[in-house]
């Protein structure tokens, strides 16, 4: 900035990062709270009710530093196998006829898809053919059904489709709605003038 004006860039950036981290931690807390609240408002199938505790425990936040970046992740349903927490995904994207997964999802690439069930999104739930199979949580099962592949009876609790609630996605955006304001306020907390030094100047007459 010239011979007579010095700017302590390193100190300024460090102070700025510290304030922004505080702001992002606040956003993280609000996002997490919003996601948990949305999950708690869901109506669960009788079949899933006994697993709600495991599903709730799988919802967590993880923050880490990577150089000068603060990376925050919201995680749900990703536990070590075997587990039942994967069911949270059902309530995000739905199942059966009410299934509405991301555009990039394909049943053909889903290793847990029932091989007797047509590989189409929104297909009703089918009976598993005879033999062993694993669910999305890595839990082992064995189907005793030896008949012709067919749709599951609507009277079966397992055949009840789940509505796509997008509870996780909605919780994230609802909780992060103040991020711009928090970051802007964080930047304002750092007085740039504190890091500028003006050298004394002598003028000869």
When pLDDT is cut at 50, 70 and 90, the band that residue 125 belongs to is very high
Report pLDDT for 75.
85
Count of C-beta atoms within a 10 Å radius of residue 118: 12
Q: Tell me what pLDDT residue 81 has.
A: 82
Band of the pLDDT at 205, cuts 50, 70, 90? very low
Q: How confident is the model at residue 71 (pLDDT cuts 50, 70, 90)?
A: low
pLDDT at residue 203 in the model: 44
Q: What is the CB-side half-sphere exposure of residue 164 using CA atoms within 13 A?
A: 13
User: Half-sphere exposure (CA, 13 Å, Cβ side) for 191?
Assistant: 3
pLDDT digits (tens, 9 = 90+) for 130-169: 999 999 999 999 999 999 999 999 899 999 999 999 999 9
**Structure confidence at residue 61 (pLDDT):** 79
3-state secondary structure of 63: strand
Q: Which two tokens stand for residue 75?
A: 């995680």
- The H or E element spanning position 150 is none
């Amino acid at each position: 900035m010239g011979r007579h004006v010095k700017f302590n860039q390193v100190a300024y950036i460090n102070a700025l990062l510290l304030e922004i981290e505080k702001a992002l931690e606040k956003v993280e807390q609000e996002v997490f709270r919003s996601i948990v609240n949305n999950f708690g408002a869901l109506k669960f199938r009788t079949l899933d009710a006994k697993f709600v505790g495991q599903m709730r425990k799988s919802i967590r936040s993880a923050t880490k530093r990577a150089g000068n970046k603060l990376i925050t992740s919201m995680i749900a349903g990703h536990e070590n196998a075997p587990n039942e927490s994967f069911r949270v995904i059902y309530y995000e994207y739905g199942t059966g006829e009410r299934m509405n997964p991301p555009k990039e999802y394909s049943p053909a690439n889903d290793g847990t898809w029932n091989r007797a069930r047509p590989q189409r999104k929104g297909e009703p739930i089918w009976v598993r053919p005879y033999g062993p199979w694993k669910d999305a949580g890595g839990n082992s099962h064995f189907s005793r059904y030896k008949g012709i592949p067919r749709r599951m009876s609507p009277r079966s609790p397992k055949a009840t489709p789940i509505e796509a609630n997008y509870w996780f996605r909605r919780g994230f955006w609802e909780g992060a709605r103040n991020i711009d304001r928090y970051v802007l306020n964080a930047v304002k907390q750092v007085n740039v003038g504190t890091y500028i030094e003006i050298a004394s100047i002598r003028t000869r007459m």
